[in-house]
Chain A
């Protein structure tokens, strides 16, 4: 944030914050911080995945019953939407690096739009499940739903935790990309300063990466 652009004889250069030796060190430090953050993301989602794996192993039939209630077409469309948004996020960095600000802003706006489409589809999926009474844990009335397994609520506990936590990440990512969009239009980013775009990009891609695994896990394999 403290790095502002400055113009020296028509060539833009990065204003290096005083606690960094030079622009290269500032860039490398920022990037390393992002990757450390990504490790915490992997561990957070990883813990839920380990839990899912263990309970899936103990109650395979119950998990299969739960997976039958999901429509793979919804997950499929959402996978395509997220992959496309990852693509537009990635090309926005190239545009910023080439000082093509307008194209970068357009790519970022498309990314936010894709995030919104993802959340709308998610909303329809959730409201449909609520309508059927498929709630997590003890909120699920097995008699009302006509569940074959008494602990079906556990499946939906995992389902809502995994997709919900992922959905929160999509919302946070959308907010961050809107922040990038405003700063891009303002002209903060250029060929000598693009670290925030790259950092948010890496975050957005990890959100995509997690969905790449959630899609087969929840919708296809069950």
Chain B
């Protein structure tokens, strides 16, 4: 965010995101929220696609928040990699947890 091309590193040059960008992103997030609710009304018709559609919309919203509200678009590669590493470890957790569950011997619960 704070780019410095001159010699004085004690002067910060903030990257100011214009209001129009925030308005567009905010509007898109509102629109996508309405879209996900509209899609919810057609859950019966969507069937097995209902969940993937809802999560795809959520993913688009999440990317918009990350890039524009959290300024990852203008951030350093280091910070992008740091944040991305969190999802890598989440995949590791998911992988081994699922591996454990699917390789278990099925038993009928007495409950």
Contacts and interface: CB of A to CB of B under 8 A. Distances in A.
Nearest to B8: A22
Contact of A22 (B10, B51, B76): B10
Contacts of A216: 36, 51, 54-55, 57-58
Interface residues of A, number: 62
B11 to A, nearest CB: 7
A209 interface: yes
A192 interface: yes
Contact of A80 (B4, B33, B50, B76): B33
Chain B interface residue count: which class?
35 or more
Nearest to A51: B97
Interface of A: 13-14, 16, 21-25, 27-28, 31-32, 35-36, 38-40, 42-43, 46-47, 50-51, 53-54, 57-58, 72, 76, 79-80, 83-84, 86-87, 89-91, 93-94, 97-98, 150-151, 191-194, 198, 201-202, 205-206, 208-209, 212-213, 215-217, 220-221
5 smallest CB-CB distances across A and B, nearest first, come from A39-B86, A216-B54, A22-B9, A42-B86, A87-B26
